Structure 1
Amino acid sequence: MTVCAIEMTTAAAFTIAADGSYAARLAGEGEALYAERWTLGGPEPYAVPLPLAQPEDAGSEVLPLTDGRVLIHRRVADRHAFALLYPTGAEDGPSTGELPLGGVDAQEGVRVRLLPPSPDGSGAFALAAEDTVTTVWQVAGAPFGPQPVARIPGRCSGGVWLDRAGRLLALDRELDGITKSVAVDLGRGDVSPLLQIAEGSDDRLLLADPDSGLLLIRSDAPGAPRLGWGVSGSSRPVRFPECLARLGDAYPFAVQPGQSLMPETCGVALRLPEGDIGLWRPADRHVFRLGAPAGWLGGSGLWSPQGRLHLPYATPEVPCGIVGMNLPVSPPPPVVLDPPAATTPRPVPLQQAPLAGR
Structure 2
Amino acid sequence: MTAATRPSTAATMLSESTVLHLRRNPTVAFLFAAISLSCLVLFRDVDSSRFLPQFSSTYNLSGFPSVFTSVSNDAASNEYSLEQLLKNASMEDKTVILTTLNAAWAAPNSVIDLFLESFRIGKHTSRLLNHLVIIALDEKAFARCKVLHTYCFFLISEGSDFHEEAFFMTQFYLKMMWRRIDFLRSVLEMGYNFVFTDADIMWFRDPFPKFYADTDFQIACDHFTGTSDDLENRPNGGFNFVKSNNRSVEFYNFWYASREVYPGFHDQDVLNFIKDHPFITNIGLKMRFLDTANFGGLCEPSKDLNQVCTMHANCCYGMDSKVNDLRVMLEDWKHYLALPPSLKRLSVVSWRVPEKCSLDALPHHGSPEASVQ
TM-score when normalising by structure 2: 0.26
For the pair shown, the structure with the greater C-alpha radius of gyration is 2
> In proportion to residue count, which structure has more strand?
1
TM-score (norm 1): 0.26
More helix by share: 2
